[in-house]
Amino acid sequence: MRMKVEDIIREVPELNRELLGFETLGGGLCNETYKVQTQEKAYVLRINSRQNEYLNLTRRSEIEVMKMANREGFSPKVISSAVPEQFVVTEFIEGRMVAKDDLKNPAIKGMIMDRLKRIHRMEDQGRICTPYDLIYGYLKGAALFQVKHPEGLHRILHRVETIAHRRSNDKEYNNKFCHNDSFLCNMIYTGDQLQIIDWELSGRGDVFFELTLIPFTNQFSEEDEREWLRLYFGHAEEDAFHILQDMKYVSMVREVAWGLFYSGLTKDSRHHDFDYYQFAESCIQRIEQGIYQL
């Protein structure tokens, strides 16, 4: 049973000490996230969704990743993780989510690339989470919730299998630790630093999948994509550009599978009014039109 905010606050000493109040934080569709303000400081309380039960990713290993990223200097400190399957409390970082317009700022883009490179050098903590694990994990969960397969799903999955086979030959940039959810909304800019949040999908995966997440959600042009690759690799070879296109396709299909899964998971939930099934159908339509961007 999902714990209530008030119950968790009573349970965690840091939150219960001279409590002033709490408020909902925006930006996420999967978990419930709150800012808890005490007399001394502010904290973030995340009440977890059940998605990791279907993705074979333990919350305990996620906490270890979060602690490691904090030691690296680019993730908030974990304050309480006594019941990681249900909730986690971290320090609150004063700042703002990175926005699309920030990508025009070379300094911020440089920070993003620095963080991604450092993430890709991190240890995996035994976590494996490829883009294909995400797709088929979400679809398995959707099936358990008896979510109807939308028209066109099987067609797009066939190309995913082809791409997965092709990518399995890349020993240099495949099988590296990745955040796997490194969208701009999971990056907090403090004015001079960049902090990365929401590590629940992190694990050993494909660097190119990671590199697609910002381009395919921010309408990058071909020139933008080639510059993105140059920022990461120091050059933009044609092979890398074609791999990026393949992984943008995979990223779109991941969105489809995510939408189907959450349409089942949140069917009786009062916390979200987002139409996940309609979102999944719209992604399939875009894929069939040859549009691999949200």
Q: What domains sit in the chain, N to C, each tagged with a CATH number?
A: 5-93 (3.30.200.20), 97-288 (3.90.1200.10)
Q: What is the mean pLDDT of residues 118-134?
A: 95
User: pTM here?
Assistant: 0.93
**Helical residues (DSSP H) of the chain, grouped into ranges:** 5-11, 13-16, 51-55, 59-72, 106-119, 131-144, 153-167, 207-217, 222-233, 238-265, 276-288
- Tens digits of residue pLDDT in 242-284: 999 999 999 999 999 999 999 998 887 665 678 999 999 999 9
Banded pLDDT at 1 (limits 50, 70, 90): low
Range scoring the smallest mean pLDDT among 10-19, 180-189, 226-235: 10-19
8 A C-beta contact, residue 280 and residue 204: no
CA 288 to chain centre: 24
- Tens digits of residue pLDDT in 71-92: 999 999 999 998 999 999 999 9
Query: Would you state the pLDDT for residue 273?
Result: 73
